[in-house]
Amino acid sequence: MGCPICDREVIRADAVYCSVRHRVAGHRARGRALYNAWIALPLPAEAVDAEIAIIGASPDGAAWYRLACPGLWGGSRYFPKGRRLGLSPFETPEVPRPGIYRAVYFDVWDDVITEVDGIVMLTATPGVYLSRGDTSP
């Protein structure tokens, strides 16, 4: 089997890439493809109000939430950076661009309860950039 980047022979039987550099390039390309697919998702002309959608999807025991989207080089980016948003009273989400986000819900001890896909945000928050999102919930 050859390296998917350069088609050279891969020596180790358990390896996919011929080198660390090509492994990193492969992971970045895969992450970029996920991000591009997320950007290409069609958005509805109208969406349910963010507060109704986020609170409506929250499980029992949830106290906080964050919104997540694919990162440019793989993984996810969580917003807002460095903090969680309250469900009661509701705090408006801050996102870098319009899109369909994943809501991550936390209990009062900051443990993740669940994640829910499909939160539509039609407007971006000025001053919030994708590169500045956290890489962990």
Q: Rounded to two decimals, what is the model's pTM? A: 0.84
Is 85 found in the same domain as 114? Answer: yes
What's the mean per-residue pLDDT of the chain? 92
Is 72 found in the same domain as 123? Answer: yes
SS3 string, the chain, reads CECCCCCCECCCCCCCCCCHHHHHHHHHHHHHHHHHHHHHCCCCCCCCCHHHHHHHHCCCCCCEEEEEEECCCCCEEEECCCCCEEECCECCCCCCCCEEEEEEEECCCCCEEEEEEEEEECCCCCCCCHHHCECCC
Structural domain includes residue 97: yes
Structural domain includes residue 23: yes
Structural domain includes residue 137: no
Query: How many structural domains compose the chain?
Result: 2
User: In this model, does residue 42 exceed pLDDT 80?
Assistant: yes
Is 59 found in the same domain as 34? Answer: no
pLDDT in tens, 46-94: 888 999 999 999 999 999 999 999 988 788 999 999 899 999 999 999 9
pLDDT for the residue 108: 94
* Confidence grade of residue 17 (pLDDT, cut at 50, 70, 90): very high
For the residues 127-134, what does the mean pLDDT come to? 89
- For residue 59, give its domain range: 50-132
pLDDT for the residue 1: 73
